[in-house]
Amino acid sequence: MILSRAYKNIINVVDKRVPHFARPFWEYEAGPKTIFFWAPICKWGLVIAGIKDLTRPAELLSAEQAAAIGATGYIYSRFSMVIIPKNYTLLSVNVFVAITQTIQLARALNYKYKHGELFSKKQKEKKE
């Protein structure tokens, strides 16, 4: 309740100072005055983590995790364009989540393939 009141006060103060050219963005149904803007902004942390993980050795990556997070990026990219109002902030963050996690998945699978870890134990036994 206190944070909600503080947020409303901040918005009221900033609202008076938003320049004319930025008004359409400021007043947009999914603009900075709504949660539809701030939730995707916080999700950029996943993108930053994915970019940082590009320096991580491939053997430490989880293909399952990258696939799951990448799938959410693809799904919510589509979702952001079919909801009303269209949420371009959500679209942009999810496109980047999908891209970074697809790269991580490719790195993890490439490592597993090169080291013979891509197949299950049963498949390895059949080959021997």
Q: Is residue 93 part of a domain?
A: yes
61-107 tens-digit pLDDT: 999 999 999 999 999 999 999 988 888 889 999 999 999 999 999 99
- Token duo for residue 121: 């134990």
Could you give the number of structural domains in the chain? 2
pLDDT at 120 over 70: no
What is the band of 123 on the pLDDT scale with cuts at 50, 70, 90? low
| Contact predicate 100/52, CB 8 Å | no
* Domain shared by 49 and 63, yes or no: yes
Q: Is residue 124 part of a domain?
A: no
Cα dihedral sign for 94, 40, 25, 81?
positive
Structural domain boundaries, residue 87: 34-118
* Domain shared by 21 and 39, yes or no: no
What is the band of 118 on the pLDDT scale with cuts at 50, 70, 90? confident
* Domain shared by 99 and 63, yes or no: yes
Q: Check residue 126 and give its pLDDT.
A: 56
Q: Check residue 56 and give its pLDDT.
A: 93
Q: What is the mean pLDDT of residues 57-61?
A: 92
* Domain shared by 1 and 41, yes or no: no
* Domain shared by 86 and 113, yes or no: yes
- Token duo for residue 66: 């990258």
* Domain shared by 23 and 52, yes or no: no
Instruction: Provide the 10 A C-beta neighbour count for residue 85.
Output: 12
Cα separation, 36 vs 85, in Å, equals: 9
Q: Is residue 59 part of a domain?
A: yes
3-48 tens-digit pLDDT: 788 888 888 899 899 999 999 988 888 888 887 888 888 899 989 9
Q: Check residue 55 and give its pLDDT.
A: 93
The letter for the amino acid at 46 is L
